[in-house]
A and B are shown apart, each in its own frame.
Chain A
């Protein structure tokens, strides 16, 4: 398996623009997580899905952020409108929901909002 695939790897956008980050989880995994990493706040869980259903989105910072998982092999994280403080590395991870299972991470998307 190719692992968790995220695209794009880097994104530079202007403030106010819409940004869409994409994730393809590992085949067979039924849990998917979106994390944000910054120097100030470390790794924050934004939202996670089990069987394509959002379970906990309490980490989503504002209504400007939204996430979808239309099927088991694809998820998006959208920011509209984007702001400079959204600049961070966004990671997608997937796991098989079972006892003691670990999450497998993608390479991340480095977002810069100017």
Chain B
């Protein structure tokens, strides 16, 4: 079974430029997440999709970040304009099993490492 695919793996941009990250979840996984992981910290949830609808985007900085999941499969996360503090690894994850106890297994991609200069 193919895992969660993300691209690009690495991106270096100047501040105020824009960047986009792409994620292809595991086939059949309806729920998709984007996390931001700053160096030395745990992942922080940015947005959660269920199929092509947004379930929770309360922690997404909407003045500069946007995300979409057209057709309920692939997803893109965009940052425009980027700030220095956006330097982080952006992780995409998907889940197959939705549980009322919240104990489903998240499958993560390898992440996209962003450096903003």
Do A and B actually bind?
A: no
